[in-house]
Each structure stands twice: as C-alpha cells, then as structure tokens.
Structure 1
Amino acid sequence: MGSLSAWHWLIVLAAVLLLFGSAKLPQMARSLGQSARVLKAEARGLKEDEKSATDQGQDKLEPGKPSPQQVDDKQRDDPKN
C-alpha cells in the first residue's frame, strides 16, 4: 500500500483516455479550471464582505450585551413605557 509507481500511473492514464477519449479531456480540464476560478472569486468576495462588516462595527457583540434590535424590542414590549 505504498505510493504508485510510474507504471501504475501509466495504466491509470491509459484507462482514463479509453474511458473519456482524447477530445473530452481538454474540455474537462477547462471546466475544472473555470470552477476553480469561480470558487476563488466567491471566497475572495466573502472575505471582503466580512472585512467590510467588521470595519463598520457590525462584528461580534460583547458577551452579555444585547444587540440594538433586542433593546428596541424590549422597550416596545415593556408596558411601563
């Protein structure tokens, strides 16, 4: 159960060529590359969104401190006001 030798890789490559054909392999590689680019762009967008939210002060609240929305809800529900 060690690593694969050059002969093993050659057999795997031949099997892939027989299964998919030489015309489909470049198309599959191109599709895989496009998918990787989309994934990277989405990950970059998420990081930028997180950074902008942190810069605006919308990051994590202090433990035990209610959010502004919770404070508004409590004031509205309080019959004393």
Structure 2
Amino acid sequence: MAQIGIPGLILILVIALVIFGPKKLPEIGKAAGQTLREFKNSTKDLTDDVVDEIKDTKDVAKGKDNK
C-alpha cells in the first residue's frame, strides 16, 4: 500500500474543503470519529466474546479430563 505523505494529506484536505465546504467538514469529521469509535467498541466486544467462549470450552475440556 502506498504511503501518503504530508503533501498528499494536504491535497486531500483541500479537495474535501472545496467539495463539502467549511461548515460541513467538522460535522463529517465528527461523524467519522463516532463511526470509528463504534467499530472499535464492537470489535473489542466481539473479540472478548470469542476469548470467553474459548476459555469456557477449555474449562469444559479440563472438567471432562478430571472425571
């Protein structure tokens, strides 16, 4: 994947400013931040569920071995 340098970032921001205007840009940034935060929380919850399920499965397997 190609690296985006400072000039590329500035170009993207200028294009976004021209397309969306100065009033909409903060709203779009806020919405993008909230979306990323929700995605991160959902991913963490899903990972925690899988880890808990693995631990439960190991506990059940250990319980069968001890009997």
Judge same fold: TM > 0.5, yes or no: yes
Give the letter for the 1:32 counterpart: A
How far residue 18 of structure 1 moved from its aligned partner, in angstroms, is 2.0
- 2:57 aligned counterpart, secondary structure: coil
| TM-score, L = length of structure 1 | 0.54
Give the letter for the 2:37 counterpart: R
- 1:20 alignment partner in structure 2: 20
Percent identity, please: 24
* In 2, Cα distance between equivalents of 1:26 and 1:56: 45
The C-alpha deviation readout for 1:20-71, integer Å capped at 9, x for no partner, is: 100000000000000000010011001110011011117xxxxxxxxxxxxx
Q: Pick 1 or 2: higher relative contact order, CA cutoff 8 A, min separation 6.
A: 2
- 1:33 alignment partner in structure 2: 33
Q: Which has the higher helix share?
A: 2
Give the letter for the 1:30 counterpart: K
Displacement over 4 Å in runs of 4+:
8-12
How far residue 17 of structure 1 moved from its aligned partner, in angstroms, is 1.7
Corresponding pairs, count = 55
Larger Rg belongs to: 1
- 2:48 alignment partner in structure 1: 48
* In 2, Cα distance between equivalents of 1:28 and 1:22: 10
* In 1, Cα distance between equivalents of 2:54 and 2:47: 11
